[in-house]
C-alpha cells in the first residue's frame, strides 16, 4: 500500500540562500508497505530553486495514486515513473519516486542501499559545514567550534561586501592553516568582479568558488575559470542534463554541485555524473535542506558518485529544529553508513500528516 504524508519542519533560525529566506522546510514523504517491508521516498521542491511547486506535486500524486500504487505492486513502478517524468518534468517528484523504488528493491534484496547501487561503495563520506558572514569574532568562534566537532571543510557564504569578506577569509586562513575553505558567491558578482575578487584570494588556497556569476551566464562562468587559478563550481547553473553538457563543453568550471532533488531520476543523475567524468569535472553532492529521508538518500549518492577526496554538502540536518527520524548517522562530519537494509533509517510517523 502506498501512502503520502506531508511535513513542515521549522529551521532553528531563518535560513538565507540565493536571495531567499526560509523559516521552515516542507515536503512529502512516500511510504510503501509490502510483505513486512516499508520503503521511503521524499519529494521536496525548494522555492527559488525548483520550478515545480508542492501544490503541483500534490495534484499529480492525487490523480495518479491508484495507478502508481498498482504499478509498484506488480513491479512496473519504473515504467510509471518514466511516463510521469516525461509528462510533468517535475524533478523532485521523479527523485522521490525513484528513491522509493530503489529503497524497496534494496530491502527486498536485504542489502544496504549504497552497496545495492554501487559495487565499490565506501564505508563513509565527509561532510562540510557552512559559515554565514557575521562579525569576525563570531565567525572565528563558530569555525573553532565546528573544527572541534570534526569538520575539516567549511563553506563561507560571500557576495555582499568583498573587502570585509576578504579580511574575514584572511583571518580564517591565519587561524586555521590546514582547513579546507570553499566559498559560495550565490551569483553575486559580474564576470569582471569575479575575476578581480578571486585573484585577490589567490594566496588563501581557496578550495573552490561556487557560482560566482549569474546562473544563466555560462560563457561568463567559462571566462572566469579561464582567467583564475581557483576552481569554479557550477551550482545554480546545473539544473538538468542539457546544462551539464553545455557547461562541460564550455569548460565553465572544474566542479559540478549536484543536487539530486533538483535533477530528478537516478538515470538523469547518473548521466550527469558520466558527463562530468568524460570532461574531467569533479562532482560534489549536496542536499536541498530536506528531511532525514532525502538527506539519507543524498548521502548515499554522494558516497557513490561524488569525489571521495572532498567533503559534500550533507550536514544540513543541524539546521532543522526537529526531524521525521531520530536516526543521527547522517548528521556527522564523517557520515558512516549503517549495516541496515535500504536507506538505513526509520521514521517517526507521529507528526506526519496524511495527504489524502
Residue 20, classified by CB atoms within 10 Å of its CB into exposed (0-12), middle (13-18) or buried (19+), is exposed
Measured CA to CA, the distance from residue 316 to residue 259 in angstroms comes to: 13
* Long-range contacts from 133-137, C-beta under 8 angstroms, 24+ separation: 133/157, 133/158, 133/160, 133/161, 133/164, 133/165, 133/168, 136/167, 136/168, 136/171
Measured CA to CA, the distance from residue 29 to residue 16 in angstroms comes to: 24
Q: Known binder of ligand: residue 103?
A: no
Q: Known binder of ligand: residue 184?
A: yes
Q: Is the dihedral of CA 275, 276, 278, 279 positive or negative?
A: positive
Q: Known binder of ligand: residue 210?
A: yes
- Give the catalytic positions in this structure: 157, 259
Q: What 8-state DSSP symbol labels residue 231?
A: P
C-alpha cell at 326: 531520530
Q: What are phi and psi of 309, to 5 degrees?
A: -85, -15
DSSP secondary structure letters along 35-78: TTEEEEEEE---TTT-SS-HHHHHHHHHHHHHHHHHHHHTT-HH
Q: Nearest 5 degrees, angle CA 331-CA 332-CA 338?
A: 80
CA-based nearest residue to 340, from 325, 354, 323: 325
Classify strands 129-131 and 2-17 as parallel, antiparallel or unpaired: unpaired
CA-CA-CA-CA torsion for 259, 308, 154, 156, nearest 10 degrees? Answer: -40
Element (H, E) at 247: helix 241-250
Binding-site members for Mg(2+) are: 184, 210, 235
Amino acid at each position: 500500500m502506498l501512502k503520502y504524508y506531508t511535513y513542515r519542519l521549522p529551521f532553528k533560525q531563518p535560513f538565507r540562500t540565493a536571495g531567499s529566506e526560509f523559516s521552515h522546510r516542507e515536503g512529502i514523504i512516500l511510504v510503501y508497505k509490502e510483505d513486512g517491508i516499508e520503503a521511503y521516498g521524499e519529494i521536496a521542491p525548494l522555492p527559488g530553486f525548483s520550478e515545480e511547486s508542492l501544490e503541483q506535486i500534490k495534484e499529480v500524486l492525487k490523480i495518479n495514486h491508484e495507478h502508481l500504487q498498482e504499478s509498484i505492486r506488480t513491479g512496473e513502478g519504473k515504467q510509471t515513473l518514466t511516463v510521469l517524468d516525461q509528462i510533468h518534468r517535475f524533478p523532485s517528484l521523479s527523485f522521490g519516486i525513484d528513491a522509493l523504488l530503489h529503497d524497496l528493491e534494496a530491502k527486498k534484496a536485504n542489502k544496504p542501499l549504497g552497496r545495492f547501487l554501487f559495487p565499490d561503495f565506501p564505508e563513509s563520506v565527509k561532510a562540510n559545514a557552512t559559515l554565514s558572514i557575521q562579525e569576525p569574532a563570531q565567525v572565528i568562534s563558530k569555525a573553532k567550534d565546528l573544527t572541534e566537532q570534526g569538520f575539516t571543510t567549511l563553506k563561507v557564504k560571500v557576495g555582499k561586501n568583498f573587502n570585509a569578506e576578504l579580511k574575514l577569509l584572511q583571518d580564517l586562513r591565519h587561524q586555521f592553516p590546514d582547513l579546507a575553505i570553499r566559498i559560495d558567491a550565490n551569483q553575486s558578482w559580474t564576470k569582471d568582479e569575479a575575476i578581480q575578487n578571486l585573484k585577490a584570494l589567490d594566496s588563501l588556497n581557496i578550495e573552490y568558488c561556487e557560482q560566482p556569476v549569474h546562473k544563466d551566464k555560462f560563457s561568463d562562468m567559462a571566462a572566469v575559470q579561464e582567467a583564475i587559478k581557483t576552481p569554479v563550481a557550477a551550482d545554480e547553473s546545473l539544473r538538468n542534463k542539457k546544462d551539464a553538457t553545455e557547461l562541460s563543453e564550455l569548460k565553465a568550471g572544474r566542479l559540478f554541485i549536484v543536487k539530486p532533488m533538483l535533477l530528478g531520476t537516478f538515470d538523469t543523475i547518473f548521466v550527469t555524473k558520466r558527463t562530468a567524468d568524460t570532461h574531467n569535472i569533479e562532482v560534489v553532492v549536496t542536499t536541498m535542506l530536506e528531511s532525514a529521508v532525502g538527506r539519507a538518500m543524498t548521502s548515499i549518492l554522494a558516497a557513490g558518485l561524488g569525489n571521495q577526496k572532498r567533503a559534500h554538502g550533507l550536514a544540513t540536518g543541524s539546521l532543522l529544529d526537529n526531524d521525521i527520524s531520530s536516526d543521527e548517522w547522517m548528521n556527522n562530519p564523517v557520515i558512516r553508513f549503517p549495516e541496515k537494509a535500504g536507506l538505513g533509517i526509520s521514521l517517526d510517523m507521529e507528526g506526519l500528516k496524511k495527504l489524502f
